[in-house]
A = this chain, B = another copy of it.
Amino acid sequence: MTAAPLGTKTRILDAAEKLFGKNGFEETSLRDITAEAQVNLAAVNYHFQTKESLIDAVILRRLEPLNRKRMEMLDAAGETPSVEQIAEAFLAPLIEVDIPNVAPLVGRVFSNPAQFAVRVFLKELAPVVRRFDQAIAAAVPALTPEERFWRLHFMAGAMTHMLAMWDVLPMMTSLPIHPVDRGAVVRQMVQFVAAGLRAPLVAKPPAELDKERT
């Protein structure tokens, strides 16, 4: 059952990752973490100085390789990837991540406005967004920069919601989706998002179109 004994630092990171994802950053105390990791309370401050820098360490340990994978998948799709390939490169690495506890953690990171959105986004995510934005521009040249901005965030939102709600989704339906097949979700999502990215441009408010019809 127990693998090679992990170092204290790694045990803290693993425990924090699990509890942060499950209960949130602010609602998880260092005491919760050290209890879960079975290490001493003071070890956290010795290895990570403050709670905030522990949070950053927990996030960056996972986010960096995941974003690298996204870039690699997009690169592997060639010069002019289809919207399906773009969507899959953006979504699959995060949805299908096979490390336990990571999906809800990343979901929390991406749905917290002030806390990290700025501090993590600008530093770690901006290049990824720029790269995917360029790919979308090439795949759907009719889109204006504003339209690409919105659609890229619609795609990100659909993904974030899945990551964050992963564990509670089965409770929201009577359908037999326990446990969720992540490959199937990616395929559904790629299909949905690709159609959205290719959607005709907005001309008039839909409300006005409805009025004209009557």
Contact = CB atoms under 8 A, between A and B. Distances in A.
A contact patch SS: helix
A84 B164 CA distance: 27
Interface in A6-40: 22-24, 26-27
Given A157-B158, A195-B195, A196-B196, A149 B165 contact: no
Contact of A165 (B24, B113, B192): B113
B146 A177 contact: yes
B145 A175 contact: yes
A97 interface: no
A206 B88 contact: yes
Which 9 A-B residue pairings sit nearest by Cβ, starting from the closest? Answer: A157-B161, A195-B199, A111-B111, A192-B196, A154-B158, A157-B158, A150-B188, A196-B196, A195-B195
